[in-house]
Amino acid sequence: MLKGIGKLITALNGNLNKSQIAAGVSWGVLLGLVPLSNPFGIVLLIISFFFNHNHGAKIFGLAIVKILSMSILPALDVLGWEILHIDSLQPLFTTMFNMPFVPFTKFNNTLVMGGLIAGIVLWLPVFALFMALIPLYRNKLAPKIRESKFVKKLASTPILGFLDSIFKK
């Protein structure tokens, strides 16, 4: 996990394309909203590795959403229940449930469906938000952090050299 956070910090301060970082955070939010303990969450995680984005940002987004998950689970449950009880979608859900292997994804679980829909709906707003925040961080906040007394003092410690060598591996 520390290596992922180190990669995120390196990406934010480096020349990595801001869209890759924003896409990584968006993937993290989607993965954080869908329970990863079921086969659907695992398949979604595997699919995420086929796209070009920053994996450190994905871990960051996932961690933030999982930290906040206890407060958003009731809303996801209600959203999932509402989606699963739309009358016009019942034939689709019945067909999906009767397909081989599809029921193992537990798409008919209210938390899975609510998390999937919320993640899909939040994908573009999170992407746009981070596309706007990354230049602000790079242009305004990062120089102030680099020039702060705390960072200069921290940079002179031997432990930082050790951590730097860990992150470079």
Q: What is the DSSP letter of 86?
A: -
Helix (H, G, I), strand (E, B) or coil at 107: coil
On whether the CB atoms of residues 64 and 28 are closer than 8 A, the answer is yes
Tokens linked to 50: 């086929």
Q: What is the pLDDT of residues 64-101, one digit of tens each?
A: 999 998 899 999 999 999 999 999 999 998 898 888 88
Q: What is the pLDDT of residues 104-158, one digit of tens each?
A: 888 888 998 999 999 999 999 999 999 999 888 888 887 777 777 776 676 677 7
On whether the CB atoms of residues 123 and 134 are closer than 8 A, the answer is no
Phi, psi of 55 (to 5 degrees): -75, -30
For the cut 60, the answer to whether the pLDDT of residue 1 exceeds it is no
Residue boundaries of the structural domains of the chain: 2-141
- What is this structure's pTM? 0.79
Q: What is the pLDDT of residues 41-68, one digit of tens each?
A: 888 899 999 998 888 889 889 999 999 9
Q: Give the position of tokens 């994996």.
A: 55
| Cα angle value 105/41/56 (rounded, 5°) | 165
